[in-house]
Structure 1
Amino acid sequence: MAEGATQGREVVLETDRLLLRRWRVADAAVQRELWTERDPRVPPHRRIDADGHPTIADIEEWIRADRPSPTGLLAVERKAAGDVIGYCGLVDSGRGSETEPELAFELLRRVWGQGYATEASLAVLDWARSSGHERLWATVWDWNTASRRVLEKLGFTETERHEVDPVRGTTLFTTIRL
């Protein structure tokens, strides 16, 4: 399904409709929009704070400072429109192990329900498999039914592990063998 290329250590993935690539400074506004759309139950450190941070300038600096890596969150760009609609990739969250990264994705609300999260995630799973990963993790809030559906479509299964937060909800741990 996905074609992948590694330029140096930089990952670029392509599907029929999407290009997954490194973030560009010009994408900072999209990344900030993702921050503004987050559910209020998401922890405060992942939402815009009372002072308006992160700003677009903050995010531009993060993008400039980012270095290519064998894991990371790739910008998801629609090929036909040429617009960035979110991110998908692998992160070393510390929740799995060094050899078992975590799949992460987040898309702008205006593109929800069009299969982009599943398509982008399948490309990342294909790349992870071809890179020698045998298992991946994904965590999801129990109330995030849309992301839970995507993970189910991808073949992730819930484990017995949960982290309960009485304010924010329960984080479910899922895994997939590649």
Structure 2
Amino acid sequence: MTAGGGEWSELALHTARLLLRPMRESDAVILHELWTERDPRVPPHRRIDALGRPTVEDLEEAIRSHPPTTVGLLAVQLVKTGDVIGYCGLVDSGRPVNGEPELAFELLRRHRGQGYATEASLAVMDWARSSGHERLWAGVWDWNTASRQVLAKLGFLETGHPELDPTRGATLFTTRRL
């Protein structure tokens, strides 16, 4: 894995098969497709609503109005074809530990099961380590076995303190020392 640029807005992480780079407005189409593919158990505010929102235009505006800072989601792009297949990066949601970034990833269904999420996450983890982060965490729904398997491959361990939602299941919190 190689990195280019010190600022998140200039960051480019390279692996054998992937380029991870800051989001562009043109990536909104892929983000919209990800929103449409989400499991119905995902909370409504993270899915396309009855009015079709967020639209591609809404997502373009979100990309435009939220320039990258020291954390953010990177587009995951296949080196071979140039296709964007999802995102991976660090987010600061403030939970469960304020100030510690969360590893987040999501890929289009047709690109799952090929090791891309693990490869992209390893690149982000290497960058996080070299940037001085000592620990990352990741939240995952208990029913999301694919993401749980990726996190286990990456060495994340469950904390044993789930957040229960009677409708959607439990959010499991996992951590990994870098």
TM category (shorter chain) comes to over 0.9
Q: Return the offset for 1:99.
A: 3.7
- 1:176 aligned partner: 176
Structure 2 residue ranges without an equivalent (≥5): none
Are 2:4 and 1:5 aligned? yes
* CA offsets 1:76-96 (integer angstroms, 9 cap, x no match): 000101010000000001114
- 2:154 aligned partner: 154
Q: TM-score, normalised by structure 1?
A: 0.96
- 1:70 aligned partner: 70
User: Residues 9 and 116 from structure 1, CA distance in 2 versus in 1: closer, same or farther, beyond 3 angstroms?
Assistant: closer
User: Residues 9 and 151 from structure 1, CA distance in 2 versus in 1: closer, same or farther, beyond 3 angstroms?
Assistant: closer
1:90-101 equivalence runs, <5 A: 90-101=90-101
- 1:109 aligned partner: 109
Q: TM-score, normalised by structure 2?
A: 0.96
| Higher share of residues assigned strand | 1
**Cα distance in structure 2, aligned partners of 1:170 and 1:67:** 32
CA RMSD, Structure 1 to Structure 2 (Å) = 1.0
Percent of aligned pairs with the same amino acid: 68
Local SS of the residue matching 1:161: coil
User: Residues 96 and 5 from structure 1, CA distance in 2 versus in 1: closer, same or farther, beyond 3 angstroms?
Assistant: farther
**Cα distance in structure 2, aligned partners of 1:136 and 1:35:** 25
Q: Return the offset for 1:28.
A: 1.0
- 1:24 aligned partner: 24
Instruction: Tell me if structure 1 keeps the 8 A contact 2:91–2:102.
Output: yes
Number of residues of Structure 1 aligned to a counterpart in Structure 2: 177
Q: Return the offset for 1:8.
A: 3.8
Instruction: Tell me if structure 2 keeps the 8 A contact 1:86–1:107.
Output: yes
**Cα distance in structure 2, aligned partners of 1:173 and 1:107:** 20
Instruction: Tell me if structure 1 keeps the 8 A contact 2:8–2:72.
Output: no
Structure 1 residue ranges without an equivalent (≥5): none
